[in-house]
Amino acid sequence: EYEKLEKIGEGTYRTVFKAENRETHEMVALKWVRLDDNDEGETCLLKELKHKNIVRFHDVLHGNKKLTLVFEFCYQDLKKYFDSCNGDLDPEIVKSFLFQLVKGLGFCHSRNVLHRDLKPQNLLINRNGELKLADFGLSRAFGIPISGVVTLWNRPPDVLFGAKLYSTSIDMWSAGCIFAELVNAGQPLCPGNDVDDQLKRILWLLGAPTEEQWPSMPKLPDYKPYPMYPATTFLVYVVPKLNATGKDLLQNLLKCNPVQCISAEEALQHPYFSDFCLP
Q: Which residues are catalytic?
A: 117
* Crossing angle of helices 169-183 and 244-253, rounded to 10°: 150
Whole-angstrom CA distances from 49 to 42, 58, 204 are: 10, 12, 37
SS3 of 240, please? Answer: coil
Q: Contact, 178 vs 119, CB < 8 A?
A: yes
- Phi and psi at 190, nearest 5°, equal -135, 80
DSSP code at position 54: B
Helices and strands in the chain, H and E counts? 8, 10
SS3 of 152, please? Answer: helix
Q: Which residues neighbour 165 within 8 Å (Cβ) at sequence distance 6 or greater? A: 143, 145
- CA dist 175 and 180 (Å) reads 9
- Single-letter amino acid, residue 121: Q
| Strand pairing class (113-114; 123-125) | unpaired
- Phi and psi at 264, nearest 5°, equal -60, -45
Other C-beta atoms closer than 10 Å to the C-beta of 260 total 12
Which stretches does DSSP call E strand in the chain?
Answer: 2-10, 14-21, 27-34, 57-63, 66-72, 76-77, 113-114, 123-125, 131-133, 140-141
